[in-house]
A = this chain, B = another copy of it.
Amino acid sequence: MGRTMEVVGDSWTLLIVRDVLLGHRRFGELERTLGIPKNTLTSRLKTLVESGILEARPAGDGSAFLEYEPTQKGRALMPAILALRQWGRDYLGHSDSDPAVVDAKDGKPIARIEVHAQDGRVLGADDVRLVQPA
């Protein structure tokens, strides 16, 4: 996980990926929704493209804008991002004006992100342990 944190460990990085995953695709949109300094956003987007988490491509509307799309590697960060979001809402508080994350098919809020055993039991932090390979 040390390498994971080298790639996504900057506090802006996961926020940018979250916003791209959730539909903000353009520099100006990201700048506005995140309130991030322009030069910080530029450098984080460059790193995210170099890491293969986002792709930059010309906007579909024929304008000169670039759009940032998540790659498969970027989309695979969704469980981690939603688990961090859930923790923040549980322990740092949330407001009624926060957007909800819903199942696109039926519009219902997603289930809580939990750790499960192979047989489906929910595992708490005290129910898992780390085993060194033999």
Q: List A residues at the B interface (Cβ < 8 Å).
A: 1-12, 14-15, 18, 21-23, 34, 70, 73, 75-88, 90-92, 96-111, 113-118, 120-121, 123-133
CA distance A81 to B132 in the complex (A): 18
Asked whether, in the complex, the Cβ of A82 is within 8 Å of the Cβ of B115, the reply is yes
Asked whether, in the complex, the Cβ of A91 is within 8 Å of the Cβ of B115, the reply is no
Residues of B within 8 A of A116 (CB): 110-111
Asked whether, in the complex, the Cβ of B133 is within 8 Å of the Cβ of A100, the reply is yes
Residues of B within 8 A of A91 (CB): 73, 76
- Copy number in the complex reads 2
Instruction: State how many angstroms separate the Cβ of A52 from the closest Cβ of chain B.
Output: 8
CA distance A128 to B16 in the complex (A): 17
CA distance A1 to B15 in the complex (A): 7
Asked whether, in the complex, the Cβ of A133 is within 8 Å of the Cβ of B99, the reply is yes
Name which residue of chain B comes closest to A23, CB basis: B130
Asked whether, in the complex, the Cβ of A80 is within 8 Å of the Cβ of B84, the reply is yes
